[in-house]
Amino acid sequence: MTIVGLTGNLASGKSEAARIFKRHGTLVFDADLAAKRTVAKGRPVYKAIVKIFGKGFLRKSGELDRKKLAWHVFSHPKDLKKLNTLIHPGVIFECLKKAESLKNKKGILVLDVPLLFESKMENLVDHTVVVRSKKEKMLERAQSRGLPKVLAKKILSTQWPLEKKARLADFVIENNGTVVDLEKQVLAVIKKIK
């Protein structure tokens, strides 16, 4: 199994690229979904978050109010570091479990990881792919999905610049055009990896 790390920044088109990879026969591990499972009500990380950040970040149902927590941590860098320290080990563990379960199979496993380089997960992959987009385009996409511009800017300010990620990547996909343009580039990457 060839393991590919796919990354980008908020609304750069990484998730759309992951969907295209999947449509063309690759397996995809979604780190965002793994993070959601890691912080699910009752899990150890959930309990640690409640202990560190307080019950003010819980909904009436007892679930984490992820939007409220996001506003807080992206306004308080030290708290963002604390949260990432709690969540990343669980995501990395799930990722390793997935890769281990497939190690004797043929094909491509794409690890869709927003903070691939920031969390040092590039060490787990054979190839890295960065989806890059212009900042205005990313802000526009984030807003069209209901994310306030202020929060989108805060989130982007905490992520490594795409230029830095692109310098470290084996493949760079430019996503400033249509989904068709994006698909052509993803297919070219799949072909080169194969």
| pLDDT tens track for 141-182 | 999 999 999 999 999 999 999 999 999 999 999 999 999 999
Cβ atoms of 170 and 129 closer than 8 Å: yes
Q: Tell me 119's DSSP state.
A: T
What is the model's pLDDT at position 54?
96
Domain residue limits, the chain: 2-193
Q: Give ∠ CA 84-168-131 in degrees, rounded to 5.
A: 75
Q: Give the pLDDT means over successive 10-residue stretches in the chain (194 positions).
A: 97 97 97 95 96 96 95 96 94 93 94 94 96 96 94 94 97 96 98 96
Q: Which CATH number fits domain 2-193: 3.40.50.300, 1.10.760.10, 3.20.20.140, 3.40.50.450?
A: 3.40.50.300
Picking from 185, 150, 126, the residue whose alpha carbon sits closest to that of residue 10 is: 150
What is the model's pLDDT at position 190?
97
Does the global pTM surpass 0.95? no
What is the model's pLDDT at position 46?
97
List, in order, residues 6 or more apart from 188 with CB less than 8 Å away: none
Q: Tell me 63's DSSP state.
A: S
What is the token pair recorded at 114?
A: 């927003």
What is the model's pLDDT at position 183?
98
Q: Tell me 64's DSSP state.
A: B
